[in-house]
Amino acid sequence: MEKRQLLIVSRNQELIDRLVERLSVDYEISVERSIHVAYNVALTLLPEIIFFDKNSFDKPSDFKNLKTFKSTHFLTRSYLLVYGKPEESAALIKRFKAIIDEFIPDTLSIDEVSRKIGKNSNNGKMNYWHECFMGLFNLIVKPIVLLQQNNILAMNDAFKKTFRIEETNGLHLTDLVNVENKAKVKTSLRNFARGKHMKAVTTTSLLVHENKLRNAKISFSKLNRHINDQFIMIIDFSGEEYSMDQNIGSHAEQVEKCFKENSEMTEFSFTKREKEIISLLCKGYKTKEISEALFISPKTIEKHRSNIIKRTNSETILESIIYAINHNLVDFPVS
């Protein structure tokens, strides 16, 4: 079973050691002595619980920085526990009511403190991201699928339109991946679903309708690490920008490597003859002129044109030429 994430922000090594001793069985524990560094760590880990030791930070300016832990919606679902002197609790809770989820007095025993941390590990919020995402599912213009490991559970309208698929029954992600070793992809997805990392961003090639091949940058993201095996995949065919903020959530390198290898194995490329034809088309040659230049029949040229259009998922040869130039698949014609 995957351990939950706990971030301890404290400069009290004795307190840290005692908490780690009691909670390390159930928690993946990270410790930071700086509030600023702890915030960046929290953005990467997206911890279920943040334990803040107020006694370690005496300056009022230090404690003001606590509000940053709830300044982004990625962390609003983390349960923030503040540990400090009982006489400070009323003022702190009143001043930071929207930030502090619970105050723990330092008069409690370490066992009681540990129990309070464990009691609030789920806090009834585990379906938050799943619910938010499903509410926006069909409003996102990029193709998106909800996956349970290799199984496609749901598709948004943009995905259905791009891949010309209506039903998810029996559909797998590997059905859209032109890869020789599909077992490796399945294993990679299973490890990602069960692992601690929240996202993976990589490149691959995908089979769209009628077995046409398209290169894409894809982003995997878990909606919540407690929803077993489920995550989303966002597809970006533009090839210009990643879909995810690189600073949010930790990366699963094994997934990125696996799909990148798949992209390399099925890397899109034109044949030598197709490149020659595209190059002449870029120069404005007509079919008859290409036939004379390459000493091949017009019928053969038309067949090559048809293959180029199909493989680039285009409607016209002009779209194919634009695609080839944008992806550096042919050289620009030199006058």
- Helix ranges restricted to H, 137-271: 157-163, 182-194, 253-265
Handedness of CA 104, 44, 77, 119 (dihedral sign): negative
Amino acid in the structure at residue 249: G
Integer-rounded Cα Rg, in Å, for the chain is 27
Q: pLDDT at residue 299 above 80?
A: yes
Q: Is residue 174 part of a domain?
A: yes
Q: Which range marks the domain in which residue 197 is found?
A: 128-265
Return the higher-pLDDT residue of 300 and 223: 300
CATH code, 284: 1.10.10.10
103 confidence band (pLDDT: 50, 70, 90): very high
pLDDT digit string, tens, across residues 193-250? 888 888 999 888 888 876 677 788 899 988 776 666 788 999 988 655 667 777 788 8
Mean pLDDT of 169-175: 88
- In this prediction, residue 165 carries a pLDDT of 87
Q: Are the C-beta atoms of 230 and 146 separated by less than 8 Å? A: yes
Q: Is residue 335 part of a domain?
A: no
CA dihedral 34, 40, 45, 51 (to 10 degrees): 30
Residue with tokens 């780690």: 20
Mean pLDDT of 113-119: 91
Mean pLDDT of 82-90: 91
pLDDT digit string, tens, across residues 244-291? 777 788 888 888 888 887 766 555 677 888 888 988 888 888 999 999
Q: Are the C-beta atoms of 221 and 129 separated by less than 8 Å? A: no
Same domain as 135, residue 252 = yes
- In this prediction, residue 66 carries a pLDDT of 75
**Domain ends where: 100, 119, 138?**
119
Return the higher-pLDDT residue of 123 and 291: 291
- d(CA 66, CA 48) in angstroms, rounded, equals 16
- In this prediction, residue 335 carries a pLDDT of 47
Q: pLDDT at residue 123 above 60?
A: no
Question: CB-based contacts of 194: which residues, under 8 Å, 6+ apart?
Answer: 2, 228, 229
Q: pLDDT at residue 4 above 90?
A: no
Q: Is residue 331 part of a domain?
A: no
Mean pLDDT of 89-93: 85
Q: pLDDT at residue 115 above 60?
A: yes
Q: Distance between the two ends of the chain, CA-based, in angstroms?
A: 64
Burial class (CB in 10 A: 0-12, 13-18, 19+), 90: exposed
Return the higher-pLDDT residue of 180 and 71: 71
CATH code, 48: 3.40.50.2300
The mean pLDDT of the chain is 82
Mean pLDDT of 123-145: 70
12 confidence band (pLDDT: 50, 70, 90): very high
- d(CA 185, CA 190) in angstroms, rounded, equals 9
| Top-confidence range, 13-17, 61-65, 230-234, 294-298 | 13-17
Same domain as 158, residue 50 = no
**Domain ends where: 239, 265, 291?**
265
Question: CB-based contacts of 184: which residues, under 8 Å, 6+ apart?
Answer: 258
Backbone angles phi, psi at 27, to 5 degrees: -125, 145
**Domain ends where: 242, 265, 288?**
265
Same domain as 247, residue 149 = yes
